[in-house]
Structures are given as structure tokens and as C-alpha cells.
């Protein structure tokens, strides 16, 4: 059973199954990702993170959504894996390669910080279907488009808790302006440099938190003139802090390693 071990982790309730593929022969397929992501018949997760050996980094990361599609970026999972690797090796800083590029992580006391890189702020890099004003998309609600290695659509509203996100989110996720679908955020201003937000993730649904979405909201809020570049965000799962610096968007927050598990041969065989 050595080949089928996994870890369950979360950042602010944004939960992950993590497979360290450096020490396993388990091959992750879309069917396995869907099976593991099923909260009734599998383990359940918002994203699956697979750790691979890094050629020129400390490690490489591949992310999967619960529907079996891949995700280009996952900030909270990156922070969780960074904490695991720092605890395992004794390091206080790491480089991690994702589809987003090489990310830098470091310990911040009990918290973990990750530089998610600079936001993508042109229509073709978000990506969108055609050239539009990213700060005022031609959609109801006047949202903002931001790329963080994956596409985001941010709405600033009066009260995020008054919105039926389960109905609103899927409609925006599949808007034709976003050819790769989009993550959806709703946010409102609580105070100076302080926002409340909720998240609908493409391929997943409503989540308690999302790292890349938090970065996108902070970037959008600053570009709209609502906040400075350092922002506190209150999500359903708790608080995360974003700092958009000259070298990228830094995200700092807590992580949790909940349990380790082993997948049974019967479960794996049923997935084909």
C-alpha cells in the first residue's frame, strides 16, 4: 500500500488532498481526481495537489480540480505543501514550480507566505475571448478581470452575504467572455484596506477560501481605487493577507495538515 498514500490539508477551510509523487508510483488521472474529489464516495477536496521532483526547483506542483480538470494555480495548496516540505527538510524558504511559473515560499512564524507572481492584466493573458476593458467588463455587475495563472472575475457589491452565490457563480463561470471558464469572487469594503469576500471556483463550486482568488480580489480592489496594495481579506474560512509588491503578489495565511491516509486497492480498481 506504499504506492497509495495521501495527505489531507487545508488553508482557511480551502481543502486539499496532497499526493507526494516523489515517493509513490500512483499515477493521477482525471478519473482518479474525480473519484478522490467526491466527498461522499472518495476523500473530498477543493483541489488535488501532486508533488513531483523539481529539476531546478525544490519541487514541482500539479493541481487538479474536483471535476477532473487541471488548475494552473492554487495559492492555499501551494502554502500547505510549502509548510509540509519546510517541516520535512528544516528549510525556511523554498522554490516551487507550477504552471504559473516558479513561486517562492517562506515561513512567516506560524504562517506561510507565497509570492504568487505578478497579475496578468491583458485580455489575452487572463485569458478573455476578445479585447475589452479589464477594469469594467461588459457584463452585468461591472466586474473586473484578473489573471493569476488562472482566470478571475471579481464583483464589488454592497453585501456579499446577501448574494445567492450557488446560483450566481455558475452563470459567471461559464460566461462566453471567459473561454477557459473563470473563478468568481464577490467582495465588499469593510474598512480601509479591509475587504470581505466569497468565492466560487471553476470546476469546484463554492469554497471557504481561495488563495489565487484572494490575490485577484486584492489586485482588482487596488486597481479600482478601493484599497491600497496591502489588504486584509475575510473569507468564509478566515483571514488572509495580501501584499502586492514590486516583485509580485504575496499571500500570507495559516495552513493545517489534518491527517494522512492510504487508498485501498479496491477503491483504485473501481476507478479503472
Domain map of the chain by residue range? 2-116+255-270, 144-246
Q: What is the pLDDT of residue 149?
A: 93
| Separation CA 231–CA 82 (nearest Å) | 22
pLDDT band at 23 (very low <50, low <70, confident <90, very high): confident
Chain-centre distance of CA 190, in angstroms?
23
Alpha-carbon distance 88 to 84, whole Å?
6
In order, the DSSP letters of 38-73 are -TTTS---SEEEEEEE-SSSSEEEEEEETTS-EES-
The DSSP secondary-structure symbol of 120 reads B
**pLDDT computed for residue 33 by the predictor:** 96
- CA 245 from centroid of its chain's CA atoms: 19
- Which pLDDT value is given to residue 1? 42
Q: Measure the CA–CA gap between 90 and 175, rounded to whole angstroms.
A: 45
**pLDDT for the residue numbered 4:** 87
pLDDT at 181: 97
Q: What is the mean pLDDT of residues 75-90?
A: 96
* pTM metric for this prediction: 0.93
Q: What is the pLDDT of residues 108-162, one digit of tens each?
A: 999 999 999 999 999 999 999 999 999 999 999 999 999 999 999 999 999 999 9
Strands, E, within the chain: which ranges? 5-11, 14-20, 47-53, 59-65, 70-71, 93-98, 101-108, 111-115, 144-147, 151-156, 183-191, 194-201, 205-207, 230-235, 238-245, 248-253, 256-262
Is 208:237 a contact under the CB 8 Å cutoff?
A: yes
- Given the candidates 3.10.310.10, 3.40.50.300, 3.30.43.10, 3.30.70.1560, the CATH classification of the domain at 144-246 is 3.10.310.10
**Model confidence pLDDT, tens digit, residues 226-258:** 999 999 999 999 999 999 999 999 999 999 999
Res. 179: pLDDT tops 50: yes
Domains 2-116+255-270 and 144-246 share a fold: yes
Reply yes or no on whether the pLDDT at 208 is more than 90: yes
In this prediction, residues 198-205 reach a mean pLDDT of: 95
* Region 2-116+255-270: CATH code: 3.10.310.10
Mean pLDDT of all residues in the chain?
95
Instruction: Tell me the CA end-to-end span of the chain in Å, nearest whole number.
Output: 17
Amino acid at each position: 500500500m506504499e504506492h497509495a498514500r495521501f495527505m489531507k490539508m487545508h488553508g482557511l477551510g480551502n481543502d486539499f488532498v496532497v499526493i507526494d509523487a516523489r515517493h509513490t508510483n500512483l499515477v493521477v488521472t482525471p478519473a482518479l481526481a474525480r473519484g478522490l474529489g467526491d466527498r461522499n464516495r472518495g476523500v473530498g477536496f477543493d483541489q488535488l495537489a501532486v508533488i513531483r521532483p523539481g529539476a531546478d526547483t525544490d519541487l514541482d506542483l500539479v493541481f487538479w480540480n474536483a471535476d477532473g480538470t487541471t488548475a494552473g494555480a492554487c495559492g492555499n495548496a501551494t502554502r500547505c505543501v510549502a509548510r509540509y516540505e519546510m517541516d520535512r527538510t528544516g528549510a525556511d524558504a523554498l522554490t516551487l514550480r507550477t504552471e504559473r511559473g516558479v513561486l517562492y515560499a517562506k515561513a512567516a512564524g506560524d504562517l506561510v507566505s507565497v509570492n504568487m507572481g505578478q497579475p496578468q492584466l491583458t485580455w489575452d493573458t487572463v485569458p478573455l475571448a476578445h479585447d475589452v476593458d479589464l477594469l469594467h467588463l461588459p457584463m452585468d455587475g461591472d466586474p473586473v478581470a484578473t489573471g493569476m495563472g488562472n482566470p478571475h472575475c471579481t464583483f464589488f457589491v454592497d453585501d456579499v452575504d446577501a448574494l445567492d452565490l450557488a446560483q450566481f457563480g455558475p452563470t459567471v463561470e461559464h460566461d462566453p467572455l471567459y473561454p477557459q471558464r473563470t473563478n468568481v469572487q464577490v467582495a465588499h469594503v469593510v474598512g480601509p484596506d479591509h475587504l470581505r469576500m466569497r468565492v466560487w471556483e471553476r470546476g469546484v463550486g463554492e469554497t471557504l477560501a481561495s488563495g489565487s482568488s484572494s490575490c485577484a480580489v486584492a489586485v482588482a480592489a487596488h486597481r479600482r481605487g478601493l484599497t491600497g496594495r496591502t489588504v486584509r481579506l475575510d473569507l468564509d474560512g478566515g483571514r488572509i493577507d495580501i501584499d502586492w509588491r514590486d516583485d509580485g503578489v504575496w499571500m500570507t495565511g495559516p495552513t493545517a495538515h489534518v491527517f494522512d491516509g492510504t487508498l485501498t486497492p479496491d477503491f483504485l480498481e473501481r476507478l479503472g
